[in-house]
């Protein structure tokens, strides 16, 4: 077992024992192999470097109260990666290979898997990139699939940011109408880098994007989905430009299990004033409370036209807390996994 400060892992790169890789060429995937060095040779003409022929996933493995190791819904990540790759017209690993490589990655890096009780986990990052040399704009026909694993604690977009603060992005879109917002492709994150930097420089932890077609409805945060509690309802945006979050899908089920009404529908911006609790949700952020959200004419502007407040920025509201505890309990083995979401190592 590694001797790490398990309570303060943050969400950052750490060299671990191994990454698992498989290459696709000539219609076949190679047998997965563990590599100890993460610097691999690539042709500089590989599509990934020029045209963002790249998509990826994020899921977590948890060491449970009972000592068992659980992966949370890896089948969903396998399916979403296939959907993203299909949009890039690129080969994707079958679900069985995806799962095998995720499990192998956890096994190879088991001494980096945080112990139970530190609210930490192993973040698994499957990434699929186009590697054959090319000059023209084209989909890749040779692909590298790598599964990386890193111990993580709490996600914070950048170091030293106040928890729970967010700002609206009015003058930058994450995705286009009819574009790629619903796919987990690298290009979407490149689009959000500059506006995120602007927000982070002003101390905001999160950036909330609006629907790119009309700018009247809420889409999602750059790192996560938007979820609000309004009375007995769980409210989350229905939009073609939002990533279908596996955490959000699971939380909707948990909310329904608690007898809440689940409302997945377009959410007008003004409705923010009526929300009791607002959170970001996703694999990395789990459920992170948003205590306040500033609306500004532009991200560059010093003017704040309106501030929405939703409660303590450092603590989930009571309903969100209940949802958080249930989902984290299922992941840790302290709550019954009634929907069979976890895959044991």
Residues with active-site annotation: 184
Q: Does the protein bind ligand COI through residue 74 (CB under 6 A)?
A: no
The only residue of 22, 223, 225, 248 in contact with ligand COI, by rule CB under 6 A? 223
Give the C-alpha distances (Å, rounded to integers) separating 261 from 229, 232, 254, 255, 264.
Answer: 10, 6, 11, 7, 10
Give the residue with the Cβ less far from ligand PLP, 30 or 178: 178
In sequence order, which residues have a C-beta less than 8 Å from that of residue 197 and are 6 or more positions away?
Answer: none
- For residue 273, the Cα-to-chain-centroid distance in whole angstroms is 26
Give the residue with the Cβ less far from ligand PLP, 134 or 224: 224
CA–CA separation, 153 and 148 (whole Å): 16
The only residue of 149, 151, 282, 291 in contact with ligand COI, by rule CB under 6 A? 282
Structure tokens at 30: 């190679």
Q: How many residues bind ligand COI (CB under 6 A)?
A: 5
The only residue of 58, 114, 151, 181 in contact with ligand COI, by rule CB under 6 A? 58
In this structure, what are the phi and psi dihedrals at residue 6, rounded to the nearest 5 degrees?
Answer: -60, -25
Site of interaction with ligand PLP (CB under 6 A): 58, 220, 222-225, 243, 245-248, 282-283
- 79 in Cβ contact with 126 (< 8 Å): no
Least gap, CB of 259 to ligand PLP (angstroms): 23
Least gap, CB of 76 to ligand COI (angstroms): 12
169 contact, one of ligand COI, ligand PLP, none, CB 5-8 Å limit per kind: none
Give the C-alpha distances (Å, rounded to integers) separating 234 from 128, 265, 293.
Answer: 33, 11, 19
CA–CA separation, 310 and 51 (whole Å): 40
Least gap, CB of 126 to ligand COI (angstroms): 10
CA–CA separation, 58 and 302 (whole Å): 35
Q: Does the protein bind ligand COI through residue 126 (CB under 6 A)?
A: no
Least gap, CB of 18 to ligand COI (angstroms): 20
Q: Does the protein bind ligand COI through residue 284 (CB under 6 A)?
A: yes
Instruction: Report the interface residues with ligand COI, using CB under 6 A.
Output: 58, 223, 282-284
């Amino acid at each position: 077992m590694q001797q790490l400060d398990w309570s303060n892992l943050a969400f950052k790169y750490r060299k671990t024992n191994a990454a698992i890789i498989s290459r696709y060429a000539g219609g076949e995937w190679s047998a997965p192999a563990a590599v100890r060095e993460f610097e691999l040779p690539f042709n500089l003409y590989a599509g990934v470097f020029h045209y963002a022929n790249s998509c990826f996933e994020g899921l977590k493995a948890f060491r449970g109260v009972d000592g068992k190791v659980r992966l949370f819904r890896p089948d969903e990540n396998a399916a979403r990666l296939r959907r993203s790759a299909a949009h890039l017209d690129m080969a994707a690993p079958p679900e069985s290979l995806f799962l095998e490589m995720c499990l192998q990655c956890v096994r190879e890096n088991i001494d980096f898997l945080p112990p139970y009780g530190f609210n930490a986990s192993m973040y698994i990052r499957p990434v699929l990139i186009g590697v054959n040399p090319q000059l023209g704009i084209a989909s890749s026909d040779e692909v590298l699939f790598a599964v990386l694993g890193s111990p993580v604690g709490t996600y914070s977009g950048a170091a030293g940011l106040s928890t729970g603060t967010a700002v609206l992005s009015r003058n930058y879109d994450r995705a286009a109408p009819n574009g790629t917002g619903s796919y987990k492709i690298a290009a979407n994150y490149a689009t959000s880098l500059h506006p995120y930097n602007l927000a982070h420089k002003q101390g905001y932890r999160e950036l909330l994007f609006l629907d790119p077609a009309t700018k009247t409805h809420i889409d999602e945060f750059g790192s996560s989905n938007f979820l609000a509690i309004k009375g007995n309802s769980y409210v989350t945006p229905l939009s073609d430009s939002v990533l279908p979050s596996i955490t959000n899908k699971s939380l909707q089920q948990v909310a329904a299990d608690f007898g809440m009404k689940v409302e997945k529908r377009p959410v007008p911006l003004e409705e923010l004033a009526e929300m009791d609790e607002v959170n970001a949700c996703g694999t990395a952020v789990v459920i992170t409370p948003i205590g306040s959200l500033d609306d500004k004419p532009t991200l560059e502007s010093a003017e704040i036209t309106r501030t929405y407040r939703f409660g303590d920025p450092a603590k989930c509201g009571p309903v969100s807390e209940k949802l958080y505890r249930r989902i984290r309990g299922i992941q840790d083995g302290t709550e019954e996994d009634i929907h069979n979401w976890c895959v044991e190592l």
